[in-house]
Amino acid sequence: PGGGIRIGYAVDQAFHFYYPDNLEALAAQGVELVPFSMLNDSQLPSGIQGLYIGGGFPEVFMSRLEDNMALMVDLSREAAAGMPIYAECGGLMVLAENIHWGDRSARMAGVLPVDVAMSSRPQGHGYLELEGTGLTEWPGEGVRVHCHEFHYSRIVACHSEMRFAFRVRRGTGIDGQHDGLI
């Protein structure tokens, strides 16, 4: 409360799925939302304290994203320095090492040590019930969260040492047992 926090959020042809309530809630708390393009900007906005990367279709634009390696390197550097990043759906995909779709692959930011593969059928579709693992401040150990999922992507090469914010009680999540990759 009181403002002074600047959060960059990706908004362009590849990333444009945001719940308006989330953006409105941040703005109501005094957060300055700074839009940027993962496709066209060569660096993250200056002076931001966090990132929000929403959903979209990074697989459709994966060649253009890969060609914008300057931004990918900047994103990776800021993540390694500890910048908080909240990424959902397509946002998580761009944080992976690679996206694979059919016979094509493209290098992404490499923030998370996973690859993402696109499928022709939904890999998760429907309502989820998640339970907090306690590894993050929200939602807390054992707190249940109801939400939905609809994605054609799946995480491949997910290492056993990966940590998650949620246990899946109903639904698919990332690996059938977890969601909220940390």
The DSSP string of 28-72 is: HTTPEEEEE-TTT-SSPPTT-SEEEE-EE-TTTTHHHHHH-HHHH
**Whole-number Å distance between alpha carbons of 5 and 29:** 9
Strands (E), the chain: 6-10, 15-17, 32-36, 50-53, 55-56, 85-87, 98-101, 104-107, 115-118, 124-132, 144-151, 153-156, 164-170, 178-181
65, 87, 89, 117: the catalytic one is 89
User: In degrees rounded to 5, what are phi and psi of residue 101?
Assistant: -145, 110
Active site residue 89: yes
The residues carrying an active-site annotation are 89
